[in-house]
Structure 1
Amino acid sequence: MSRKGRHQWFRVLVHTADATLEFSIQPKTTGQELFDLVVRTTGLRETWFFDLCYENTKGRMSWLKREKKVLTQDVPHIQPLPFHFKVKYYPEDVTTELIQPVTQNLFYLHVKQMVLDEELWCKAEHCVVLASFAVQATFGDYDPELCPPGFLHDMRLLPERILNQYQMTPEMWEERIVECYKNYRNMFPEEAKMKYLAFAQDFEMYGVNYFPIKNKRGTLLWLGVDALGLNIYKSNDKLTPSISFPWSEIKTVSYNDRKFVIKPLDKHAVDLVFFSTDPSVNKTILQLCIGNHELYLKRREPDSIEVQQMRAEAAERRERMDKDRGRLIREMQSRKLAEREKDKMSIKLKRAERKAAQTKQDLSRMREAAQILSEKVEMAEVETGLLLAKAQEAETTLQQMLHEKERTEQEKQDLVRQARDAKESAQRCMLNHSCCDTCLRWRCCVAGSPPRETEPRPHPQPPQRHDSRLEAAIKNISMDLEGLQIADRKTTEDQIHEQNAATGETKYDTLSRITRGSAKSRITFFEEL
């Protein structure tokens, strides 16, 4: 490629909410052509909510003009040229107007970033609920094994304002987020994102673009441009509009230099006139007014063929999602039954293991008892041998005693015979009286002496163990946070919201109140602010 040819292409980086895209454009490429490139690449069909913006040479964010060439606009002279693909217009009701998943995801990421960057004010308990929806969209159903304490430590889920206003540790915030998160079982990530958006669209600052203006008296005010119309706010209160002019009452919007003129449809009402404090944003105000007014009218017309087709596809997706949810619930129920059966079998197995262990212990004890009995038998056999030996000894002793007795008896008989013989001899001889008396006494003594017997010895003895549940969750969180907020760190918005809450007035009550009366009376009220 020649040097001239190389300079006919310029690199462009487009940052979307979830990706960064790179393109090459020519000097003649228009904003519309670059926008179409981004749309085709992302697969987006609901293009009317989005647009491309960039930081101009003065350091301010500007919307890219579709009808003009990209390089002829006030873009910085750098390569690659950075652009941002952002939400420009908001729907009146996200649940009915955001049809495609890619559109829902881009809106979800955009609103989530606004909450974290504190561009969209909300109170602490609502921030906790939004964080729980974000966790469901990221992780799916709560699982205690996959979500241990501290698993949200690296995720940015709450604005710094909330973290600084309360005397709470990250662990305490995580505990409250998880308590809400546990209630979203069987909610798909796409549904969690839509729950996030549906919850956020009820906030006072949702979908409002603010611009500083002055009325004819020079009073500094805020102009809020949103999907329903124009709202006027006091300079110190962006939450509660003082007056509102719905698009249905506005005929035209125009400006000249700093002066803006809003022509109402009411022929009896005078024009609404205000002055911008920064002329550089006049075109942006006008673009937002025209774009929001066109979308307001488009919503009240029959859907185009393309939108009808997208709605039919969305209905089919919802039907498939419901079927998938039903199948998932049935699978979970089957899994629970299987786990219950598994638990029962596990209990039975543990019982059998305990019984086997007990039987093993009993067998071991029986073996030990058998061993002891065997040892006792051996001891008994030894003792029996000893007893037999003693019995044999006793038998021998008894035989000896019997022999001794017989011998003694023989000796006795001999003595008796001798005594008889001696008596006879004495009688015959009669030698002298003393000798006979002595022999007689000796003979009587011998004859009267009983034989001595030995007593036998005794034998030795042997040894012896956002439904009612969502509302309830918000109420519980509010009660938990009560008393933990640091009073001197409350912002102006916090104080204004507390005053509005004390009166019981919601965002929609306020919008209903400030649109009452004729356009003429409201314009008069505006001029007197």
Structure 2
Amino acid sequence: MLSLKIHSDKKLDPKKCFDVLVKVCDNEMMFSMKLKAKGKDLMCLVSDSLGLREMSYFGMQFEDVNNDFVWLVNNKQILSQKVKCRMPREFTFTVKYYPENLTAELIQDQTIEIFFSTVLNNITCKDLFKNLSGEEVAISLMALELQTKVASCAINMRSEVDAFTDQLFKKYQITKNNQNEELFNLQCSKVKMLSKVDAELEYLGLAQQFKCFGVTYFNIKRNKTNKCVLGITNRGINVYNTTDVYQPCFNYTWNQISNVSFSDKKFMVRMVDRSMQDFIFFVDHVKTNKTIIQLCMGNHELFMCRRRPEPREMQQLKIISVQARKQKTLEREMMVKEREANEVMERRIEEQRSLVERLQLECQQLQQQLTLSQDALVQSEQSCDLLSERVMLLEEEIKLLDVKVKQQELDLYKADMASIQMEQDRIMYERRALEAEILASQVVEECDSRSKEADQLRLEMMEMREEELKTRNKYRQLLQLFTNLEKTKHLQQKLKHLKSEIQVLRVDKPSTTATTISNNHVNNNSSHTNNNNTKNDVKNIADDDNDNNADDDTMKEFTINGADDITGQMTCDAILSNNCSSNTLIGKLLQYAHL
């Protein structure tokens, strides 16, 4: 950023002057002004400092005490226009009026540069290209902006160009993809031969195609409810809807307007043609009407000047500018050619330098290789001796290895024979295992058959035990019968004795009969006792025969003997208790003997 401080030739009293800071594009200029200095004095200082002759397009903009940006009036004192109290006072030198054809009407390079800076700021800050152009126009503007930087030598290095390109894509909000990059590179190749001023003029020519280019907008009211937008242009006055500020509803050209005036917040536009209705609208502030009327007057004056013959001074200025531009174009072409020639020469020099460096590097490498080869030769000679010794050692090792190989072959042969023997043993073991399995199956079958035979023998043994039990029972019965037979014989003897006694009794007295019966009763008791003893002897014999089945046989013997005792007891008691005849007694005895 350039900062300049300029004073007049005469020294000014600090108490009677004030400092002014003027911003022009990216530069700043500092001036000391008198307290009573007017706006046109500041404009003259700026024009003299910049060398501008086309001052009719520019104006001074400042921020007032209400924080609004307004234009400086040239015919009024600076300090009387409510400039915000700052030290120094700040102003911006910028474009106020736009010509109808920028590329044809702008003459000086300084004018073109200021217009370019102003339009560039408006386009990128207000995003005008988003609604009024496609990506192709935006990419063309990007390429021209890059060319202005490259042509002015602001950026030279490839890395700086790439960084600035990335900033342009972000600033213009263009997606950086392969297609857009190819289009951008194509546009850059088309404009790479343009000078800085030509690139700026091309940029302004593209920007002039926008419908909102060079339009200053104001919010107005036709009445209390009808709101719209007023646009002041270099061709006339346009009226827009609030929803669309790019397509005017209707417009009035400067040659149709005869007079403009305002009264407080009311603004009136009178027409040359009386049949046309005057245009009247209202604004919110009086200062807005002042700004509108300034723009109307300045644009109308420029509109009329463009339709009058150009002054001789402007013609000479255009001729000088065209010649200077041609001269600059020739100089640029020569400079481009020289640059290309220098680039070719530098490229050749660089190639030669690289070739020399490569050759030097190759020489160094060859020298290093030669040194290495010599070292390798010495090492090879030393290694030959070592190798010869190693060969001898290797031969001895080979002999040892031969012996080991033969030993290993022998071991391998033995291992093979052992494996064959193992295979034969395995086959034999498998055969034996098979035979063992067959034998085991036979043994299992034999065991099954023997188990069946054992079961059969167990059944037969049980049957034999049953038969043995039956035989023992029969034996007991036979013993019982034998005992009964003995009892019968004893009873027969007793009967014979009784018969003999009965016969005796028949002969003797009746008194002897009772005595005889009592004796018989005693004899019968002794016989019964003897009978019981005989039965106990039989029981002991049966117990001796049945030692293996003591419990069961004892119970049965007890039952049988008990029954016999009870039967004998009952028989004897019956015989002794009844005083029956001898025939009856003999019959009962015979019946008992039979049983």
Task: Compute the TM-score of the two structures, normalised by the length of structure 2.
Answer: 0.54
- Is 2:143 the partner of 1:135? no
The corresponding residue for 2:271 is 264
Q: Aligned to 2:275, what secondary structure does the other structure show?
A: coil
The corresponding residue for 1:483 is none
User: How far does residue 234 in structure 1 lie from its aligned partner after superposition?
Assistant: 0.9
Structure 2: how far apart are the matches of 1:198 and 1:307? 22
The corresponding residue for 2:312 is 305
Structure 1: how far apart are the matches of 2:343 and 2:76? 62
* Aligned-pair identity (%): 29
The corresponding residue for 1:186 is 193
The corresponding residue for 2:29 is 21
* Residue pair 2:143, 2:188 contacting (<8 A) in 1 also: yes
Structure 2: how far apart are the matches of 1:148 and 1:221? 45
Q: Report Cα offsets for 1:307-331 as digits up to 9, x if no partner.
A: 1222122112122122113313432
- Is 2:158 the partner of 1:150? no
**Pick from 10, 27, 39: which aligns with 1:31?**
39
Q: Aligned to 2:255, what secondary structure does the other structure show?
A: helix
CA 1:348–1:245: 2 relative to 1, 3 Å: same
Q: Aligned to 1:25, what secondary structure does the other structure show?
A: strand
Q: In terms of Rg, which structure is larger?
A: 2
5+ long unaligned stretches in structure 1: 379-529
- Is 2:41 the partner of 1:41? no
* Residue pair 1:150, 1:174 contacting (<8 A) in 2 also: no
Structure 2: how far apart are the matches of 1:261 and 1:151? 49
Structure 2: how far apart are the matches of 1:197 and 1:373? 80
- Is 2:118 the partner of 1:110? yes
User: How far does residue 303 in structure 1 lie from its aligned partner after superposition?
Assistant: 1.6
CA 1:342–1:35: 2 relative to 1, 3 Å: closer
Structure 1: how far apart are the matches of 2:215 and 2:16? 40
- Is 2:242 the partner of 1:235? yes
Structure 2: how far apart are the matches of 1:104 and 1:198? 11
Structure 2: how far apart are the matches of 1:83 and 1:180? 37
Structure 2: how far apart are the matches of 1:354 and 1:7? 75
Q: Aligned to 2:74, what secondary structure does the other structure show?
A: coil
**Pick from 89, 107, 113: which aligns with 1:81?**
89
- Is 2:66 the partner of 1:58? yes
Q: Report Cα offsets for 1:371-397 as digits up to 9, x if no partner.
A: 99999xx9xxxxxxxxxxxxxxxxxxx
Structure 2: how far apart are the matches of 1:11 and 1:97? 34
User: How far does residue 292 in structure 1 lie from its aligned partner after superposition?
Assistant: 0.3
Q: Aligned to 2:60, what secondary structure does the other structure show?
A: strand
- Is 2:106 the partner of 1:95? no
The corresponding residue for 1:527 is none
**Cα RMSD over matched residues?**
3.8
CA 1:178–1:26: 2 relative to 1, 3 Å: same
How many residues align? The count is 370
* Residue pair 1:258, 1:276 contacting (<8 A) in 2 also: yes
CA 1:147–1:173: 2 relative to 1, 3 Å: farther
* Residue pair 1:128, 1:158 contacting (<8 A) in 2 also: no
The corresponding residue for 2:295 is 288
The corresponding residue for 1:437 is none
5+ long unaligned stretches in structure 2: 1-11, 386-595
Q: Read off the aligned partner of 1:128 and give its amino acid letter.
A: I
Q: Report Cα offsets for 1:162-218 as digits up to 9, x if no partner.
A: 53xx6659x998886555334322221222222211111111211000111223584
* Residue pair 1:233, 1:243 contacting (<8 A) in 2 also: yes
Q: Report Cα offsets for 1:104-137 as digits up to 9, x if no partner.
A: 1111111111122116444462333222222211
CA 1:306–1:353: 2 relative to 1, 3 Å: same
Structure 1: how far apart are the matches of 2:317 and 2:169? 32
Point out the more displaced range, 80-89 or 341-350: 341-350
Q: Aligned to 2:16, what secondary structure does the other structure show?
A: coil
CA 1:337–1:18: 2 relative to 1, 3 Å: closer
Q: Report Cα offsets for 1:1-34 as digits up to 9, x if no partner.
A: xxx9643222222222232222222222112212
* Residue pair 1:116, 1:157 contacting (<8 A) in 2 also: no
Structure 2: how far apart are the matches of 1:369 and 1:57? 91
Structure 1: how far apart are the matches of 2:336 and 2:257? 51
Q: Read off the aligned partner of 2:249 and give its amino acid letter.
A: S
* Residue pair 1:91, 1:227 contacting (<8 A) in 2 also: yes
